[in-house]
């Protein structure tokens, strides 16, 4: 009996070893550094959701010198987190990126302005200097200015665009009347620096009707014709959305998991817990499947760039339910 038990245990261990070896590798490239903006993926990794799906997932943080589109194009990742304006622009330029899932339902992007700079409404933008992120993040802003009929070439009738670093210094030092911020990140950097909500005028892209989809999951189109790759992505999306919903329901724990994965040690507990609380508002309402109406709104915004639109024509094949239909059913 003991001999049988030992043989059975050995066989089980052998089977487990084979299963472990058979786990499929997936590399995810994030749009930015390790922070609660990406909590769902770290939660899925920490809680074993990827492992349960037979996946060995590597999460690669981003940064100011890392363009997710380039990493994907160069084969450095199987799937990447990116904003749709950047992805559609890249697609039109020849990189066939396809949105396979949309964990973020709402946009967290906004323009945060100092009231003492004379900004109370969008009518006050003219003649002002506005801080704008580039590297693909400028597209929603340019579409918004086009919708308002405001030139971005400077002058009294236009705005002067300041290429903003990934901080809020131009606002704090009064080099710009407004700067780009996210509801879950840079806005709170302004508050932590000593300004109060009463000192500020905030313009959320969602409220202005120019919000575009953020933090979707993208792959290269030709990969989707490979059944093995498709199967990996189905399992990856299913586990990732399980991670996102867990993060929404357990925001403080999710923030702690993010901190445990922050190799830089730059993040703080207070900031990450606050960030996770705000991010949960943006992922709420999404089961992972892209809403075609949200896509159409994004495309309309990007096409409204006057003589210099972000994209010149409505894309074809830029998103698919191929993965989420199987992952979520």
Please state, in angstroms and rounded to a whole number, the distance separating the CA atoms of residues 228 and 38.
Answer: 26
Examine the fold and report which residue of 208, 230, 254 is the final residue of a domain before the chain moves on.
208
pLDDT computed for residue 91 by the predictor: 95
Structure tokens at 241: 């959305």
Residue 329 binned pLDDT confidence (cut-offs 50, 70, 90)? confident
Residue 307 binned pLDDT confidence (cut-offs 50, 70, 90)? low
Looking at the fold, whether 117 and 100 belong to one and the same domain comes out as no
Looking at the fold, whether 222 and 90 belong to one and the same domain comes out as yes
| SS3 state of residue 105 | coil
Chain-wide mean pLDDT for the chain? 91
Residue 311 binned pLDDT confidence (cut-offs 50, 70, 90)? confident
pLDDT computed for residue 291 by the predictor: 97
Would you call 38 exposed, middle or buried from its count of C-beta atoms within 10 A (0-12, 13-18, 19+)? Answer: buried
Percent of the chain that is helix, strand, coil (3-state, to 5) = 45, 15, 35
Is pLDDT at 16 greater than 80 in this prediction? no
The tens digit of pLDDT for each residue in 262-301 reads 999 889 999 999 999 999 999 999 999 999 999 999 998 8
> Domain holding 69: CATH number?
3.40.190.10
Structure tokens at 287: 């089961």
Alpha helices in 47-185 (DSSP H): 49-52, 68-73, 84-92, 139-148, 169-172
Radius of gyration of the chain (CA): 22
Is pLDDT at 1 greater than 50 in this prediction? no
Looking at the fold, whether 113 and 94 belong to one and the same domain comes out as no
Neighbours of 122 (CB within 10 A): 17
The tens digit of pLDDT for each residue in 96-139 reads 999 999 999 999 999 999 999 999 999 999 999 999 988 667 87
| SS3 state of residue 230 | helix
Looking at the fold, whether 220 and 290 belong to one and the same domain comes out as yes
Looking at the fold, whether 65 and 124 belong to one and the same domain comes out as no
Looking at the fold, whether 96 and 221 belong to one and the same domain comes out as yes
Looking at the fold, whether 97 and 131 belong to one and the same domain comes out as no
Looking at the fold, whether 219 and 196 belong to one and the same domain comes out as no
The tens digit of pLDDT for each residue in 51-95 reads 999 999 999 999 988 999 999 999 999 999 999 988 999 999 999
pLDDT computed for residue 303 by the predictor: 84
pLDDT computed for residue 136 by the predictor: 65
Q: Which residue has the higher pLDDT, 64 or 247?
A: 247
The tens digit of pLDDT for each residue in 220-242 reads 999 999 999 999 999 999 999 99
Q: Provide the number of structural domains found in the chain.
A: 2
Lowest mean pLDDT among 154-168, 200-214, 262-276, 303-317: 303-317
Distances (CA, A) of 97 to 42, 44, 179, 307, 328: 23, 24, 29, 25, 22
Examine the fold and report which residue of 148, 181, 208 is the final residue of a domain before the chain moves on.
208
pLDDT computed for residue 213 by the predictor: 95
Looking at the fold, whether 125 and 89 belong to one and the same domain comes out as no
Looking at the fold, whether 122 and 156 belong to one and the same domain comes out as yes
Among positive and negative, which fits the CA dihedral 309, 63, 244, 274? negative
Domain boundaries, position 231: 2-105+213-327
pLDDT computed for residue 137 by the predictor: 73
Separation of CA 303 from chain center? 21
Looking at the fold, whether 147 and 221 belong to one and the same domain comes out as no
39 close to 283: Cβ distance less than 8 angstroms: no
Say how many residues make up the chain: 329
pLDDT computed for residue 9 by the predictor: 45
Looking at the fold, whether 200 and 220 belong to one and the same domain comes out as no
Residue 305 binned pLDDT confidence (cut-offs 50, 70, 90)? low
Is pLDDT at 17 greater than 90 in this prediction? no
Please state, in angstroms and rounded to a whole number, the distance separating the CA atoms of residues 240 and 44.
Answer: 6
pLDDT computed for residue 156 by the predictor: 87
């Amino acid at each position: 009996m003991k001999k049988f038990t030992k043989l059975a245990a050995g066989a089980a261990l052998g089977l487990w070893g084979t299963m472990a070896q058979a786990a499929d590798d997936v590399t995810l490239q994030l749009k930015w550094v390790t922070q609660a903006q990406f909590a769902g993926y770290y939660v899925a990794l920490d809680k074993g959701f990827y492992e349960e799906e037979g996946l060995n997932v590597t999460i690669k943080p981003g940064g100011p010198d890392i363009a997710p589109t380039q990493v994907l194009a160069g084969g450095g990742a199987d799937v990447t987190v990116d904003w749709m304006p950047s992805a559609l622009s890249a697609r039109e330029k020849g990189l066939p990126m396809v949105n396979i899932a949309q964990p973020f339902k709402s946009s967290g992007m906004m323009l945060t302005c100092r009231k003492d700079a004379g900004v109370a409404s969008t009518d006050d933008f003219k003649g002002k200097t506005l801080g704008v992120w580039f590297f693909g993040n400028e597209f929603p802003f340019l579409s918004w200015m086009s919708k308002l009929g405001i030139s971005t070439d400077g002058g009294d009738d236009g705005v002067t665009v300041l290429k903003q670093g990934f901080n809020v210094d131009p606002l704090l030092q009064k080099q710009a009347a407004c700067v780009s911020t996210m509801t879950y990140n840079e806005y709170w950097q302004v508050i932590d620096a000593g300004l109060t909500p009463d000192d500020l005028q905030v313009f959320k892209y969602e409220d202005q009707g120019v919000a575009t989809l953020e933090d979707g999951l993208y792959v290269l189109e030709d990969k989707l014709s490979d059944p093995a790759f498709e199967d990996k992505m189905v399992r990856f999306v299913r586990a990732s959305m399980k991670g996102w919903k867990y993060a929404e329901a357990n925001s403080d724990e999710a923030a702690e998991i993010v901190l445990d994965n922050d190799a830089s040690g730059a993040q703080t507990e207070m900031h990450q817990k606050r960030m996770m609380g705000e991010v949960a508002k943006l992922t709420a309402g999404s089961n992972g499947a892209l809403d075609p109406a949200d896509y159409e709104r994004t495309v309309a915004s990007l096409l409204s760039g006057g003589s210099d639109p972000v994209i010149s024509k409505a894309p074809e094949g830029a998103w698919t339910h191929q993965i989420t239909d199987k992952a979520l059913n």
